[in-house]
């Protein structure tokens, strides 16, 4: 009698050499690839990425392409759009990149609609989106702009993505926290997409702050930075210590300002003023004038019995809220900024002093001038429009190009933005301006491969912005072999107040924790590396035993389901280490140690059944739990009292009424809706559920007939890819 039905399924077909078993387990990790002709414009290193992205989009509903800055993601996305069947695709891109995308799509003959993020923020949607649920492809460029589900652009977009495939593009998807990644993925991927890997909720997993699970490899595709043929970078640091007296005097005034009775508001405003002081005298003067205007407005408000709100404070902060994590911590319930009106007098005095500094020697500006003497074509990034004008006027040559969100030009002459940036593009001409001074309006997505030097005159608040800036020159198509990257660190007296260097270092670690970059790129590149490491594919379902420590089991298996056409589809392929106590780990470091131990160990020539049985006894509960999770997680997932739970309760009541009325067609609709409600959802589906809950029963039933497809999956199966027993003498 079979006491455990899984044991016969897991039992290997027979022994094999350990190297062959390892090859079978690791090669099974290889991503599925679409075997079809690809557009000729793709480079060799881009072709495997396109072949992998197509199945990811089809199987999961969405995918994130997170290759490094400057690796040609636009052309990869256009290739996907050209290959995608059905209606024409839609690309949602930052406004600054609309013309660049249109030129590329026209050049390559790809029919698609291009729409800006900014128009989405205003609630304007492209006609091709509308409210139909066709399975068209939506491409979201620089998707890290959709990391906040409370933002207007997110709330306008998420509901209309239901039923569509979503391709996200971002070299820097993690900005302030790992949950940034979850919110982007949920635009196209359901929350339970990683259930077969033992991750019931994608959102809860990444919000928890723990390192990303290797299973994210099925949703996110990246490639090593050194695989795409970009120029080499040379890093340099600079710190120009301005005259101590004026700087210390300004810090002393700013330190003493009350600013607000609300600590979060006071901290935000003080950081904005410190940051302006670190940039230039002109930037500080501009910030002080804006804050003085805000105080005058606050005084008028108090006189009329009203208070300033968050929107007015946001206008003062300007572009900084996107960079300052402190803004996100400001309570939404804060109806008043409660500014300290007594600060007006010291601000007036400081503004008079700063107006004199702008005409005096500025060591930071002088240091930049000396750096620019090397005649290299250079992009200088600053944090404010005032500093752009200040540097343009003080560095001397009339041929300095400049660009802000408002305008662009060369010297005192305004010119079209595209014309100015064209001097620094891939086909940049000899002569003309050799220096471009710009705000971060030129930091994202633009092709400025003509530049051979990037200067961070002001540091941003996120490592993402640093990478985006560098990527204007460090990208495919550069006409240079190497790029110099120069970073101005804040003066010591401001560094301890701003803590920018510390903040940048902390945020730099986030992509590594997610497995996106560097030698610790565990999540995506680890699986690819293992899959490609096997010189030959061993026969699946074999086992081996080795004389190695510690005692345990290295096993690989695949969860799969039957397809209507008679085939099978893989849901999850894993490889993991199981110790004698029954603890299972799929962490790359743990698995790597076990694989290295196999390569150094002595194989057992004739492994016996006495070694295999205890190993299967340990493995069986792990596999059973994974199968149960795959089948049942979606029913156990909804939080008690959440929107999904409330909809399920209501659908159960309506189903009971349909049963009593013997209304079979109505019951079928409700059962289909129940299957949808009980599983994980995309961000747009969650929004739709909230809408449904507010409808009366008759209207609710009509809407349920449009519910997204969620047919019941067949019972999942398991396939053993390989098994290796360690420490055989102790079993």
| ∠ CA 50-55-57, rounded to 5° | 90
| ∠ CA 436-402-98, rounded to 5° | 90
Q: What span, in angstroms and rounded, lies between the C-alpha atoms of 437 and 424? A: 11
- Indicate whether 576 and 683 sit together in one domain: yes
Q: How many domains does the chain fold into?
A: 4
Q: Is the distance from CB of 483 to CB of 453 less than 8 angstroms?
A: yes
3-state DSSP assignment of residue 139: strand
Eight-state DSSP code of residue 491 = P
Q: What is the pLDDT of residue 363?
A: 84
Q: What is the pLDDT of residue 638?
A: 46
In a domain, 519, yes or no: no
Q: What is the dihedral of CA 180, 184, 185, 187, to 10 degrees?
A: 150
Domain limit, last residue, from 311, 330, 357: 357
Contacts of 714 (CB under 8 A, 6+ apart): 561, 562
Q: What is the pLDDT of residue 140?
A: 96
- Indicate whether 183 and 326 sit together in one domain: no
Q: What is the pLDDT of residue 500?
A: 62
Eight-state DSSP code of residue 639 = P
- Indicate whether 582 and 696 sit together in one domain: yes
- Indicate whether 54 and 19 sit together in one domain: no
Nearest Cα to Cα of residue 556 among 536, 570, 566, 569: 570
- Indicate whether 586 and 603 sit together in one domain: yes
Task: Identify the band that residue 99 occupies on the pLDDT scale cut at 50, 70 and 90.
Answer: confident
In a domain, 528, yes or no: no
Residues 698-723 as b or e (16 or more Cβ within 10 Å = b): eebbeebeebbebeeeeebebbbbbb
Q: What is the pLDDT of residue 65?
A: 93
Longest Cα–Cα distance of the chain, Å, equals 94
Nearest Cα to Cα of residue 51 among 91, 86, 80, 30: 80
Contacts of 101 (CB under 8 A, 6+ apart): 74, 91, 93, 114, 141
- Indicate whether 628 and 654 sit together in one domain: yes
In a domain, 669, yes or no: yes
Which neighbouring-strand residues pair with 41? none
Domain limit, last residue, from 327, 357, 387: 357
Task: Identify the band that residue 721 occupies on the pLDDT scale cut at 50, 70 and 90.
Answer: very high
State the number of CA atoms in the 13 A half-sphere of 375 facing the CB: 2
Mean pLDDT of the chain: 82
Which neighbouring-strand residues pair with 554? 577, 724
Q: What span, in angstroms and rounded, lies between the C-alpha atoms of 378 and 140? A: 30
Q: Is the distance from CB of 73 to CB of 167 less than 8 angstroms?
A: no
Contacts of 255 (CB under 8 A, 6+ apart): none
In a domain, 512, yes or no: no
- Indicate whether 593 and 566 sit together in one domain: yes
316 has a pLDDT exceeding 70: yes
Is the pTM higher than 0.85? Answer: no
Residue with tokens 């120009």: 240
- Mean pLDDT for 500-518 is 63
- Indicate whether 111 and 132 sit together in one domain: yes
Residue 627 in tokens:
């199968």
Task: Identify the band that residue 328 occupies on the pLDDT scale cut at 50, 70 and 90.
Answer: very low
The residue that leads in pLDDT, 24 or 418, is: 24
Task: Identify the band that residue 696 occupies on the pLDDT scale cut at 50, 70 and 90.
Answer: very high
Which neighbouring-strand residues pair with 486? 236, 455
Q: Is the distance from CB of 388 to CB of 464 less than 8 angstroms?
A: no
3-state DSSP assignment of residue 558: strand
Nearest Cα to Cα of residue 74 among 54, 93, 55: 93
In this structure, of 19-28, 513-522, 587-596, the range with the lowest mean pLDDT score is 513-522
Q: What is the pLDDT of residue 329?
A: 42
Q: Render pLDDT for 385-441 as a digit per residue (tens, 0 to 9).
A: 999 999 998 887 667 899 988 889 988 889 988 888 888 887 666 677 889 999 887
Q: What span, in angstroms and rounded, lies between the C-alpha atoms of 315 and 321? A: 10
332 has a pLDDT exceeding 90: no
- Indicate whether 599 and 706 sit together in one domain: yes
- Mean pLDDT for 650-655 is 90
Nearest Cα to Cα of residue 165 among 219, 111, 114, 120: 219
Q: What span, in angstroms and rounded, lies between the C-alpha atoms of 725 and 101? A: 54
In this structure, of 106-110, 563-567, 643-647, the range with the lowest mean pLDDT score is 563-567
- Indicate whether 261 and 209 sit together in one domain: no
The torsion angles phi and psi of 57, rounded to 5 degrees, stand at: -65, -40
635 has a pLDDT exceeding 60: no
Helix, strand, coil percentages, rounded to 5, for the chain: 50, 15, 35
H-helix or E-strand containing 720?
A: strand 717-726
Q: What span, in angstroms and rounded, lies between the C-alpha atoms of 656 and 417? A: 64
Q: Is the distance from CB of 489 to CB of 495 less than 8 angstroms?
A: yes
Q: Is the distance from CB of 124 to CB of 113 less than 8 angstroms?
A: no
In a domain, 495, yes or no: no
Q: What span, in angstroms and rounded, lies between the C-alpha atoms of 449 and 428? A: 8
By percentage, how much of the chain surpasses pLDDT 90?
A: 29
Eight-state DSSP code of residue 579 = E
Q: What is the pLDDT of residue 80?
A: 94
In angstroms, the Cα distances linking 203 to 161, 206, 325, 635 are 18, 5, 20, 17
Q: What span, in angstroms and rounded, lies between the C-alpha atoms of 276 and 490? A: 11
DSSP 298-313: HHHHHHTT----HHHH
Task: Identify the band that residue 504 occupies on the pLDDT scale cut at 50, 70 and 90.
Answer: low
Q: What span, in angstroms and rounded, lies between the C-alpha atoms of 188 and 138? A: 9
Q: Render pLDDT for 353-388 as a digit per residue (tens, 0 to 9).
A: 888 775 556 888 888 988 888 888 899 999 889 999
Helices (H), 117-216: 117-121, 152-157, 179-185, 202-207
Which CATH number does the domain housing residue 171 bear? 3.40.50.10810
User: Does the N-terminal peptide bond of residue 462 adopt cis geometry, omega within 30 degrees of 0?
Assistant: no
Q: What is the pLDDT of residue 558?
A: 94
Other residues' Cβ atoms within 10 Å of the Cβ of residue 419: 12
Other residues' Cβ atoms within 10 Å of the Cβ of residue 399: 13
In angstroms, the Cα distances linking 113 to 87, 92, 100, 106, 393 are 11, 8, 13, 11, 41
- Mean pLDDT for 195-210 is 84
Other residues' Cβ atoms within 10 Å of the Cβ of residue 106: 11
In angstroms, the Cα distances linking 69 to 170, 223, 443, 695 are 8, 11, 11, 46
Residues 343-358 as b or e (16 or more Cβ within 10 Å = b): beeebeebbebbeebb
Q: Render pLDDT for 114-148 as a digit per residue (tens, 0 to 9).
A: 999 999 988 898 877 765 455 679 999 999 999 99
Contacts of 571 (CB under 8 A, 6+ apart): 196, 558, 559, 560, 561, 630, 716
Q: What span, in angstroms and rounded, lies between the C-alpha atoms of 326 and 265? A: 9
Which CATH number does the domain housing residue 478 bear? 3.40.50.300
Q: What is the pLDDT of residue 134?
A: 57
- Indicate whether 67 and 131 sit together in one domain: yes
Report the range out of 89-98, 292-301, 536-545 with the highest average pLDDT: 89-98
281 has a pLDDT exceeding 80: yes
In a domain, 494, yes or no: no
DSSP 205-246: HHHTTPPPPGGGGGTEE---GGGS-PPEEEEEEE-----HHH
Q: What is the pLDDT of residue 360?
A: 59
Nearest Cα to Cα of residue 349 among 394, 302, 279, 288: 288
In this structure, of 58-72, 266-280, 551-565, 708-722, the range with the lowest mean pLDDT score is 708-722
Task: Identify the band that residue 323 occupies on the pLDDT scale cut at 50, 70 and 90.
Answer: very low
CA 269 to chain centre: 28
Nearest Cα to Cα of residue 575 among 601, 600, 555: 555
CA 53 to chain centre: 16
Domain limit, last residue, from 468, 489, 510: 489
> What count of residues does the chain have?
731
3-state DSSP assignment of residue 99: helix
Residue with tokens 């205003």: 122
- Mean pLDDT for 499-507 is 65
Q: What span, in angstroms and rounded, lies between the C-alpha atoms of 65 and 137? A: 14
- Mean pLDDT for 248-253 is 88
Contacts of 301 (CB under 8 A, 6+ apart): 307, 308
Query: Which residues constitute the domain of residue 125?
Result: 44-224
In a domain, 37, yes or no: no
By percentage, how much of the chain surpasses pLDDT 70?
A: 83
In a domain, 34, yes or no: no
Residue 319 in tokens:
């572009």
Q: Is the distance from CB of 254 to CB of 274 less than 8 angstroms?
A: yes
- Indicate whether 191 and 60 sit together in one domain: yes
């Amino acid at each position: 009698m079979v006491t455990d039905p899984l044991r016969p399924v897991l039992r290997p077909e027979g022994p094999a050499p350990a190297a062959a078993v390892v090859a079978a387990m690791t090669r099974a990790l290889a991503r599925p690839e679409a075997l079809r002709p690809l557009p000729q414009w793709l480079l060799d290193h881009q072709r495997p990425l396109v072949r992998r992205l197509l199945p990811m989009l089809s199987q999961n509903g969405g995918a994130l392409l997170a290759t490094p800055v400057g690796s040609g993601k636009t052309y990869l996305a256009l290739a996907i759009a050209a290959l995608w069947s059905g209606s024409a695709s839609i690309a949602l891109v930052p406004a600054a990149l609309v013309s660049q995308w249109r030129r590329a799509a026209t050049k390559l003959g790809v029919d698609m609609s291009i729409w800006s993020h900014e128009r989405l923020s205003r609630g304007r949607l492209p006609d091709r989106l509308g409210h139909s649920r066709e399975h068209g492809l939506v491409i979201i460029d620089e998707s890290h702009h959709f990391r906040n589900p409370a933002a207007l652009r997110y709330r306008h977009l998420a509901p209309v993505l239901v039923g569509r495939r979503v391709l996200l593009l971002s070299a820097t998807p993690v900005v302030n926290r790992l949950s940034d990644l979850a919110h982007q993925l949920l635009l196209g991927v359901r929350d339970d997409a990683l259930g077969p890997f033992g991750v019931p909720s994608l959102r809860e997993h990444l919000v928890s702050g723990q390192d990303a699970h290797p299973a994210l490899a099925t949703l996110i595709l990246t490639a090593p930075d050194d695989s795409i043929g970009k120029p080499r970078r040379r890093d340099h640091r600079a710190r120009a210590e301005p005259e101590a007296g004026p700087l210390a005097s300004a810090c002393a005034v700013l330190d003493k300002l009350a600013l607000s009775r609300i600590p979060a508001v006071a901290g935000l405003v003080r950081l904005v003023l410190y940051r302006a002081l670190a940039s230039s005298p002109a930037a500080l003067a501009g910030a002080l004038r804006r804050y003085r205007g805000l105080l005058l407005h606050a005084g008028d408000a108090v006189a009329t019995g009203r208070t300033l709100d968050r929107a007015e404070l946001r206008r003062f902060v300007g572009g900084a809220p996107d960079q300052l994590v402190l803004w996100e911590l400001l309570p939404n319930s804060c109806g008043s900024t409660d500014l300290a009106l007594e600060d007006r007098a010291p601000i007036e005095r400081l503004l008079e002093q700063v107006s004199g500094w702008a005409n005096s020697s500025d060591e930071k500006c002088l240091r930049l001038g000396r750096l620019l003497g090397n005649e290299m074509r250079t992009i200088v990034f600053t944090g404010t429009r005032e500093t752009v004008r200040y540097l343009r006027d003080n560095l001397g040559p009339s041929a300095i190009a400049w660009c802000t969100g408002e305008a662009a030009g060369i010297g005192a002459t305004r010119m079209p933005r595209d014309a100015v940036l064209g001097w620094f593009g891939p086909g940049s001409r000899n002569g003309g301006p050799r220096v471009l001074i710009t705000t971060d309006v030129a930091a994202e997505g633009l092709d400025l491969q003509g530049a051979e030097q990037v200067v961070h005159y002001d540091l941003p608040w996120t490592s993402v912005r640093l990478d985006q800036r560098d990527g204007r020159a460090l990208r495919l198509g550069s006409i240079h072999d190497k790029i110099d990257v120069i970073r101005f660190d804040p003066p010591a007296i401001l560094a301890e107040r701003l803590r920018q260097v510390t903040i940048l270092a902390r945020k730099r670690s986030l992509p590594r924790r997610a497995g996106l970059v560097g030698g610790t790129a565990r999540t995506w590149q680890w699986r690819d590396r293992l899959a490609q490491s096997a010189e030959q594919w061993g026969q699946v379902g074999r086992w081996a035993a080795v004389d190695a420590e510690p005692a345990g089991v290295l096993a690989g298996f695949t969860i799969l389901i039957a397809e209507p056409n008679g085939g099978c589809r893989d849901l999850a392929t894993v490889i993991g280490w199981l110790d004698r106590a029954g603890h299972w780990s799929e962490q790359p470091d743990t698995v790597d140690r076990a694989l290295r131990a196999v390569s150094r160990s002595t194989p057992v020539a004739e492994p016996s059944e006495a070694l295999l049985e205890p190993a299967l006894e340990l493995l069986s509960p792990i596999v059973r739990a994974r199968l149960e999770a795959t089948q049942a997680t979606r029913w156990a997932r909804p939080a008690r009292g959440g929107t999904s739970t409330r909809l399920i309760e209501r659908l159960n009541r309506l189903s009971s009424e349909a049963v009593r009325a013997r209304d079979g067609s109505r019951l079928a609709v409700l059962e289909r809706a129940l299957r949808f409600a009980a599983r994980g959802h995309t961000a747009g589906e969650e929004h739709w559920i909230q809408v449904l809950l507010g409808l009366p029963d008759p209207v609710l039933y009509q809407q349920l007939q449009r519910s997204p497809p969620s047919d019941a999956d067949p019972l999942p199966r398991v396939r053993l890819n390989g098994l290796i027993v360690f420490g055989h003498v102790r079993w």
